[in-house]
A and B are shown apart, each in its own frame.
Chain A
Amino acid sequence: MTATARYRHLFTPLRVGPVVVPNRIVFSAHLTNYAQDGLPSEQHAAYYAARAAGGAGLIVTEEHSTHPTDWPYEKLIHGFHPEVIPGYRRITEAVHRHGTPIFAQINHNGGQASSMYSRLPVWAASPVGDPLFREVPKEVDRREIAEIVAGYALVAEHCKAGGFDGIELQCSHSSIVRGFLSPAVNVRSDEYGGSLGNRARLLLQITAAVREAIGRDLALGVRLCGDELIEGGTTIDDAVEVARMVEGQGLTDYVNTSIGVATASLFMIEASMQVPPGYALFIPSALRKAIDLPVVGVGRFKDPVQADRALAEGHCDLVGVVRGQIADADFAAKARAGQVDDIRLCLSCNQECVGRMGLNRWLGCIENPRTGREAHDDRVEAAVGAAGASVRLGVKPKKVVVVGAGPAGLQAASSATRQGHSVVVLEREDRPGGQVIGAASVPSRAEFGDLVRNQVRDCRQLGVEIRCGVVADRDVVLALEPDVVVVATGAEPQRPYWAPEGATTIVDVRDVVEGRAWPTGRVVVVDELGFHQATSVAELLADRGCEVTVTTPGMVVGQDLGITLDLEHWQVKAAAKGIGQRTDLVPMSWDGAQLGLLHHPTGQMVDIACDWVVLAVPPRPMEELYHELAAVPGARLRVHRAGDCVAPRRAHAAVIEGERAGELV
C-alpha cells in the first residue's frame, strides 16, 4: 500500500500564509538547552536539519527571548542581541537544504521566570508569584509594555534577517502574553486587565508590531493555551474568543495550540505515557470550528496513523509531533515510505528529553543516542532513512558475540552491526528485553516496552542473530570463536543486610513483575531507588487487592517521578488506590510479621505490620563473565561491557553504553 493510500491527509501540502508546508507533520517548538552563551549553536542547526532530512513538514524552533528581563533558564537564546543572526542563518540554511520551511518562536516568559540569571526584576502583568519560580514579579507599567512590544518586533526582524520563513508567538504556557491573558495572574485594573478584550490587548499589539516588522513575506502564527488546568485560569471558551480576535485582526496566518501552564501543570503539556495520546485534541477542535485559519493540534502524537486520523476527523490542520521526531528523526520519511513499523516509537518516558530540560542539561533521548549529539557525531551513515542494511563501509568485519539481550546488549548488537561486523546475541531467557519486560508489564508503563520492540526490530532489520534460552558461560562464548565479546549480562536482585536469609515473604520488585512471587494481604514496598520500580509495583499490587504502603528513606516516595512528570499521576492514583506513603524511614529489621524502620530525623523506631515486603533496592551487577573473559590469555579476544553489569542504572545508560560498545568494536 502506498503512503498516500495509507494516509489520506498527512502528506498533503498546506498553505500557511505565504508559506507552503509540504506535509502536515510539525516539529513544534520545544526547549533543547543547546544554546551557548545566549546564541544558537551548531548543534541547533544539526538537530533541526536532521528532522528536516527526515521529512518533517514544518519546523518551529525553540523560543528566542525578546528582552533582557526574560532569562528563566540558563541556556536560552537571547534573540534581542543582533549577534544571534549568524546562528539563525546557520539553522535556516541547514534546514532549507532539505526543502523544509522553518519558523522561529519568539517569546518573553514574563512572570514565569526568576531574576537569577538576568539580575533584573521579573516582569509580569501583576505582582503574583509564580508557583515554580516563586519570585514576585514587577508589575509592568505602560512604558515597559511598550518596551515589551518593541522587543518582539526587534527579534522578529532578527529572525527575518536570519532567513526564517515565519514567526510563531508563544502566548500559551510560559509567556508574558499568557500572563496577561490569564485571569489567574492578571489582576490589573487598567486597560490591560479585566475584560478579555483588555487582557488580549498586549497580544494584539504584539501581532501588529511583529507583522509590521516582518511584512507579508513571512508567516505569522500565534500559539494559544486552550486550558491552563489551574484555578481561575484560561479555559477553552476564552481561548476560542481570543482566536477569533486574532483572526479578526487579519494579521495572523495560523494558530497553534497547547494545554497547561509550564510552571504549574507541565505534566499535562509534555504528558508521559500515563496520559492517553491525543488528550489535548479538544482544543484545536474547538478553535477550528470557530476560525478559518489553519490550526495545529498537539498532545502526544507518537505514530503517523494516529496523526492522520486527527486530520481526517477534522480536529486540526497540522499535527505537532515532537517527541516522536526526537526519538526518530526519520519519523515522517519512514511513514511516507510505508515503513511505519520501522519507526523508532517514542515511549513518552520523558527520561532524557523532558527530564534533562528541567535539570539544565542538553536534550537527549533514552533510545536514540544520536539525539543531542547530531553536531558531534562524525559517524558516516551509508543511508539515511530506513535502517535497512545501512552499514559502514571500509571496516574489516569482525565476529562479535553479545551476551545478554537487554537494552545494553541489543543496542551493542545493532551498533556493531552498523559498523559492518557480524553479531550474535546470546540471551539466557526465552525472549529479549531484560528488565524492560517486567517494567512494562505494569499497565500504565506498557509503552516502556516499545524500547525493546524498537531495538529488536532494528536488530532484525540489520540481520543480527538473537539466540534465546542460551546460558552463556565462558566456554559457550569461546566456542563461538569471537573476535570481540560485549558482556551485557545485567544485574540481579540483591537482598539488603537486614533481610533474613530464607525469608520467603521478602521479595524483589522483579520477583513480582516477573511473576515469581505473588504477594497478598498487607504489603510494604521499600523504595530506595526513587523511580518507577516501587510505584509501579505498588499500583500493581493494589490493583490485585493488596493493602499497600510505600516507604522511603527520602523525603518523597518516587522522588524522580517529578523529573519525568509522572509525580502528579502517581499521587492521584496512589490516593485512589488507597496506597499509603511514608517517608524518612530506613528499614532495619524484619521478624516475619513486622518491618522495623528507623525514622531518621527523630531517631525513633517505627514498626509496620505486614505480610510481605517488596524491595526496590539497587541490584548487584552480574560482572563475573566479563572478568572471566577479560582474563582469557592471549591478545586476540577483545572484551567490552555495557549497562547494568558495569553498574546498575537506568535504561538510558544501558543504551548509551551499548551504542559505545558497538562502536568500540
Chain B
Amino acid sequence: MKLLEPLVLRGRTARNRIVFGPHETNLGRSRSVSDRHVAYYRRRAVGGAGIVVIEEASVHPSDWPYERCPSATASVDGWRAVAGACRAEGALVLAALGHSGGQGSSAYSQAPLWAPSRVPEVNTREVPKWMEPADVRAVVDGFGEAARLAARAGVDGVEVNAGQHSLIRQFLSGLTNHRTDEWGQDKLRFACEVLTAVRRGAGDEVIVGLRLSCDELAPWAGITPDTAVEVALGLADLVDYVTVVRGSIYTVSATRPDCHTEPGFNVDLARAVTDAVGGRVAVIAQGSIVDPAMAEEAVAAGVCVAVEMTRAQIADPDLARKVAAGEAHLVRPCILCNQACQVRDARNPIVSCVVEPSSGHEWEDPPLDGTAVSPADVFVVGGGVAGLETARVAASRGHRVTLAEATDHLGGMVRVASRGAGRDRLALAADWLESECDRLGVKVETAREVTAEELDGVAGEVVLCTGSRAGRRTYEVDGGAAVLSAAEALADIAALPEGPVVVWDPIGGPIGISVVEALRALGRDVHLVTPDLIAGNELSRTGDLAPANVRLQAAGARLERRSLLRRVRTGAVDVEDRFTGASRTIGAAVTIDAGYRLPDDALWRASGEHLPRAGDAVAPRTIHEAVLEARRRVLELETRA
C-alpha cells in the first residue's frame, strides 16, 4: 500500500503516511503540554501513526484562545516529553504553532484581541485591536522564538497554523485583512515573515509545515481554491509540506464537520493544490478521511503524499498498526459524530470518543487488553451497544460469553438512531461491535426474551444491558390522538399516517433534528416544537448547531421555538409560548416525541435489584456512556470472581 510507504521530509523519515493531526484536547495543565498529552500521543505512536502533531501552542502572550491552550514558552518540557515518548515508538513528532488573532478570547487574558483589522469575532462579536507594526513584529518574533524552543526540545518539526482559528489566515484573507499598509497591499507578507522567522528559529534540520485554509467558503472576499493556489505557490519555498484545510471566521464548523458532511470533502481541494505546487512541496490531505481505503486511494491517486486521520485515530489508536498488519477491517470506525472529540468549549471537556472512551483518558483508565486470570461464564442480556461492548470486551479477555437479545437483530437503539437523516454512520458502530463479537466467539442468541426466573438458573456472571423504553409524557393526550416516540417513528418513518407532523424536541440534541430532516426529505409537512430559542440547542459542541439550522430552514421545516407542547388532540396540538404563556394550535395528524426516555429496568427489578447494569438500562444516555459502563462492568466482574 502506498499509504504504508515511508515518507521523507527534510531528511527525516516517517514510517508511513498516516498523520495524527493537531487538535484541541484540553489535556494541558495550566498552559503547558502535560503528562496527559504524553499518554495520549504515545498511545497513537504505539498504534503505528507515522507522524504525530502536538496540539497547537500559542506563540505570543496576546493569544489565549481557550483556557488550557498551551503556550509555547510553557510547553518546552512537554514537547520534549512527547517527542521522547513517541519517537521511541517510531513516530515523528511535530509541534503545532499558532496565534488565533481575532478568533481568540479575551476572557482569560483580559486583554484586547489582536487582528489585522477590526473585524468582530462572529460568535462573541468582540472587536479586536488593529495590530500596529510593532504588534506585527512582536508576533513574528514570537513565531520564531517558539520554533527555536520547539527545535531545542527535540521535535522533528513544527507545523504553522494558517488554517482555522489563525491570525496568519486572517492576514491572508480579504474577509479579515482590510489594511492599506504593506501587510494589506501584500496579504502574503505576514505569512512570509512568519515562515521565514520560523525557519530561522527552527534551523535547517527541522521540518516546517504549513496548515493552510485553501477555501474559506466565502468567495465574496475570502480565500477561494483559485487564490489558495496562488498563496501556496507564494509560500511553497518556505515550507516542507502544506496540509490543505478549509474554513473561515464565518464557517468554523466546516473545518471539522460531523457526519452531515461527506467524508473526504477536501480531496478535490488537495488535488488542486498538489497540481499547482506538488512538485515543490509535499501536500497532506485531510477532511473527514476516516476510512483507510479512502486514505490509500488519495495517496495512490497522487492527491497527496500523506493523509491526516485524526478522528479515526481517536476512535481507534491502533488504526495504523492494524492497516499495516493487513487488518484494516478490524479498525473501530469513527462515526464522525463529534460528540466527544470536539472540545473547543468553555467547559473544557477532555478530548474523548463515544466509541473509544479511553481516548483522552490514557493517563487514568485501566488497560482493557490482556487476559482474565480466571475466565468466567458471562451472560449478557441485551444486544445494543452496551451489551455488545460488554460481550466484546469480556470475550477478548478470555471469558465465555453468551449474549441474549430480545429482538431479531443486534445494535439496539443505535440502529434506530442511524435511520435519522444524516446519521447513517452510527450504524457502523453497531456493525463493528457485531463483527468483533462474532470474531471473538461470543455466542449470540437473538429473539430471546430473558426472564428473572431464567437468570436464577444462570451459572456465572450476568450483566443487564436492557436499554430504554419510551419516556414520560409531559403533556396531555386526548383519546385516539397519535403520539409516537422518536424511536417508533424512525423504525419505519415512511409508514407514518398521512398529514402534518409535529416533532416535540425538549432535548435539542441530534435525534429530534434528524427526525424532522428525515420527514422533510419525504416531503412531509413538519413543525419542530422546541422550548429553546434555537432549534437543536445542544448541538454547538459537535459544530452542527448553525449547519442544522441552515439545513432545517433550507428544507422548509417550520420551527416553533420557545414553545411547550401542552396537549395532543386529534388532528392538532396545543403549544404554549414559554415566556408569555400565550397558546396556539398547530395541525398535526401525528405527533412524534423526541424527549427523554426511561431505563428499561423491568428485568433488573424483577431479579432483585442487584445485578450489574450498563448503558441505557441505568439511565438512557449516549453511546459513550454505554461503552464506558460496559467496560467497567467487565473489569468489575473479574475483581468479584
Say which residue of B509, B538, B609, B625 sits within 8 Å of A141 (CB atoms): B609
Name the interface residues of A118-168: CB closer than 8 Å to any CB of B.
119, 121-122, 127-129, 131, 134-139, 141
Cβ contact within 8 Å between A584 and B579:
no
* CA distance in complex: A571, B619 (Å): 34
Say which residue of A136, A556, A657 sits within 8 Å of B533 (CB atoms): A556
A115 within 8 A of B: yes
B6 within 8 A of A: no
Name the interface residues of B576-631: CB closer than 8 Å to any CB of A.
577, 579-580, 582, 595-599, 609, 618-621, 625, 628-629
Cβ contact within 8 Å between A121 and B579:
no
Of B127, B361, B534, most A-chain CB atoms within 10 Å: B127
Could you list some 9 contacts between A and B, CB below 8 A? A119-B361, A122-B619, A129-B506, A134-B509, A575-B580, A584-B553, A618-B118, A647-B126, A657-B112
A187 CB contacts on chain B under 8 angstroms = 472
B203 within 8 A of A: no
Which residue on B lies nearest to A652, using beta carbons? Answer: B110
* CA distance in complex: A207, B102 (Å): 52
A476 within 8 A of B: no
Among the stretches B80-88, B269-277, B345-353, B396-404, the one at the interface with A is: B345-353
B562 within 8 A of A: yes
How far apart are A184's CB and chain B's nearest CB, in angstroms? Answer: 11
Task: Decide yes or no: A530 and B125 within 8 Å by CB, A572-B580, A601-B549, A656-B110 being known contacts.
Answer: yes
How far apart are B464's CB and chain A's nearest CB, in angstroms? Answer: 14
Chain A interfacial positions (CB closer than 8 Å to B): 73-74, 115-117, 119, 121-122, 127-129, 131, 134-139, 141, 187, 356, 359-361, 528-531, 555-556, 560, 568, 571-572, 575-576, 584, 599-602, 618, 620-621, 646-649, 653, 656-657
Chain B interfacial positions (CB closer than 8 Å to A): 67, 106-108, 110, 112-113, 118, 120, 125-130, 346-349, 357, 361, 472, 506-509, 531, 533-534, 538, 545-546, 549-550, 553-554, 562, 577, 579-580, 582, 595-599, 609, 618-621, 625, 628-629
* CA distance in complex: A527, B562 (Å): 20
Cβ contact within 8 Å between A555 and B554:
no
Cβ contact within 8 Å between B579 and A575:
yes
Task: Decide yes or no: A136 and B550 within 8 Å by CB, A555-B534, A647-B129 being known contacts.
Answer: no
Cβ contact within 8 Å between B106 and A601:
no
How far apart are A406's CB and chain B's nearest CB, in angstroms? Answer: 16
Cβ contact within 8 Å between B579 and A568:
yes
A584 CB contacts on chain B under 8 angstroms = 549, 553
B595 CB contacts on chain A under 8 angstroms = 129
Cβ contact within 8 Å between B538 and A134:
yes
Cβ contact within 8 Å between B346 and A360:
yes
* CA distance in complex: A129, B505 (Å): 13
Cβ contact within 8 Å between B127 and A116:
no
Cβ contact within 8 Å between B596 and A646:
no
Cβ contact within 8 Å between A602 and B553:
yes
* CA distance in complex: A584, B534 (Å): 11
* CA distance in complex: A657, B507 (Å): 41
Task: Decide yes or no: A136 and B347 within 8 Å by CB, A572-B580, A647-B113 being known contacts.
Answer: no
Of B125, B580, B597, B620, most A-chain CB atoms within 10 Å: B125
B125 CB contacts on chain A under 8 angstroms = 528-531, 560, 618
* CA distance in complex: A160, B295 (Å): 60
A359 CB contacts on chain B under 8 angstroms = 107, 346
Say which residue of B531, B545, B619 sits within 8 Å of A121 (CB atoms): B619
Of B67, B595, B598, B621, most A-chain CB atoms within 10 Å: B621
* CA distance in complex: A657, B111 (Å): 8
List the 6 closest A-B pairs by CB distance, nearest first.
A571-B579, A129-B596, A601-B553, A647-B129, A601-B550, A575-B580
Say which residue of A138, A529, A653 sits within 8 Å of B618 (CB atoms): A138
* CA distance in complex: A350, B549 (Å): 30
B620 CB contacts on chain A under 8 angstroms = 127, 136
How far apart are A255's CB and chain B's nearest CB, in angstroms? Answer: 32
B549 CB contacts on chain A under 8 angstroms = 555, 584, 601
How far apart are A659's CB and chain B's nearest CB, in angstroms? Answer: 10
Cβ contact within 8 Å between A360 and B507:
no
User: A121-B621, A129-B507 are known contacts; what are 11 more A-B pairs with Cβ within 8 Å?
Assistant: A119-B628, A129-B506, A135-B621, A136-B620, A139-B599, A356-B107, A359-B346, A361-B107, A648-B127, A649-B106, A653-B112
A531 CB contacts on chain B under 8 angstroms = 125
Which residue on A lies nearest to B564, using beta carbons? Answer: A231
Which residue on A lies nearest to B629, using beta carbons? Answer: A121
How far apart are B63's CB and chain A's nearest CB, in angstroms? Answer: 15
Which residue on A lies nearest to B102, using beta carbons? Answer: A647
Cβ contact within 8 Å between A555 and B533:
yes
Say which residue of A127, A141, A571, A576 sits within 8 Å of B562 (CB atoms): A571
How far apart are B18's CB and chain A's nearest CB, in angstroms? Answer: 29
Cβ contact within 8 Å between B347 and A127:
no
Which residue on B lies nearest to A600, using beta carbons? Answer: B550
How far apart are A302's CB and chain B's nearest CB, in angstroms? Answer: 25
Which residue on B lies nearest to A361, using beta carbons? Answer: B107
How far apart are A491's CB and chain B's nearest CB, in angstroms? Answer: 9
Task: Decide yes or no: A649 and B349 within 8 Å by CB, A138-B618, A571-B562 being known contacts.
Answer: no
Task: Decide yes or no: A618 and B348 within 8 Å by CB, A361-B108, A602-B554, A656-B110 being known contacts.
Answer: no
Which residue on A lies nearest to B112, using beta carbons? Answer: A647
Task: Decide yes or no: A127 and B609 within 8 Å by CB, A601-B550, A647-B118, A653-B106 being known contacts.
Answer: no
* CA distance in complex: A576, B106 (Å): 36
* CA distance in complex: A356, B108 (Å): 10
A137 CB contacts on chain B under 8 angstroms = 619
Task: Decide yes or no: A649 and B346 within 8 Å by CB, A128-B596, A618-B127 being known contacts.
Answer: no
* CA distance in complex: A361, B625 (Å): 27
Which residue on A lies nearest to B595, using beta carbons? Answer: A129
Which residue on A lies nearest to B507, using beta carbons? Answer: A134
* CA distance in complex: A120, B545 (Å): 26
Which residue on B lies nearest to A617, using beta carbons? Answer: B120
Which residue on A lies nearest to B580, using beta carbons? Answer: A575
How far apart are A492's CB and chain B's nearest CB, in angstroms? Answer: 13
Task: Decide yes or no: A572 and B579 within 8 Å by CB, A361-B108, A555-B534 being known contacts.
Answer: yes
How far apart are B62's CB and chain A's nearest CB, in angstroms? Answer: 12
Say which residue of A73, A121, A646 sits within 8 Å of B625 (CB atoms): A121
A119 CB contacts on chain B under 8 angstroms = 357, 361, 628
Of A127, A600, A646, A656, most B-chain CB atoms within 10 Å: A127
How far apart are A233's CB and chain B's nearest CB, in angstroms? Answer: 14
B118 CB contacts on chain A under 8 angstroms = 618, 620-621, 647
Which residue on A lies nearest to B352, using beta carbons? Answer: A119
* CA distance in complex: A139, B620 (Å): 11
* CA distance in complex: A361, B120 (Å): 22
Task: Decide yes or no: A74 and B348 within 8 Å by CB, A119-B628, A647-B128 being known contacts.
Answer: yes
Cβ contact within 8 Å between B534 and A127:
no
B533 CB contacts on chain A under 8 angstroms = 555-556
B550 CB contacts on chain A under 8 angstroms = 600-601
How far apart are B501's CB and chain A's nearest CB, in angstroms? Answer: 21
B618 CB contacts on chain A under 8 angstroms = 121, 138
How far apart are B23's CB and chain A's nearest CB, in angstroms? Answer: 18
Task: Decide yes or no: A575 and B577 within 8 Å by CB, A360-B348, A618-B127, A649-B106 being known contacts.
Answer: yes
Cβ contact within 8 Å between B348 and A646:
no
How far apart are A192's CB and chain B's nearest CB, in angstroms? Answer: 15
Task: Decide yes or no: A618 and B346 within 8 Å by CB, A571-B579, A575-B580 being known contacts.
Answer: no
* CA distance in complex: A556, B546 (Å): 12
